[in-house]
Amino acid sequence: MQTQSKWSENTYMPYLKIADEAHLSRDSMGQKLKYENAYIECENATYLIKKNVTGEELERISINQNEDGIDTEDRIMKLKDYLVSNHDILQSV
C-alpha cells in the first residue's frame, strides 16, 4: 500500500531559520538558505555551501562535535559569523 506524503510548507531547518530567516528557501521546504548565486544546507556536523546552478560544492563549514555527536560549539553563531564575513561571496559566486 502506498500513501502520498507531503511536507508542510511551514517545515524548516531551525538552525538555518535562526541564522538568516530572510533567505530561508520555501521552495526547498526550509532546508536551504538561498542567495543570489549560492545556497547553504546543513548536514549533521557540516554546513555545505553550493552553487545554485550546478550544485557544485564550494565550501564546507565543519561544526565541532564530541565523540557522542553533540555539538561542542554554537552552530548558529558559527553560521551567522560565516554569513557576515562571506556575504559578498554568496552574492557573486
Q: What are the backbone angles phi and psi of residue 12, rounded to the nearest 5°?
A: -160, 160
Q: Is the pLDDT of residue 65 over 80?
A: yes
Q: Is the pLDDT of residue 1 over 70?
A: no
Average pLDDT, the chain: 87
Q: Is the pLDDT of residue 4 over 90?
A: no
Overall pTM > 0.85: no
Average confidence (pLDDT) over 52-69: 95
- Give percent of the chain with pLDDT exceeding 90: 67
Average confidence (pLDDT) over 12-38: 92
| pLDDT (0 to 100) of residue 27 | 86
**Model confidence band, residue 20 (pLDDT cutoffs 50, 70, 90):** very high
The residues spanned by each domain of the chain are 14-92
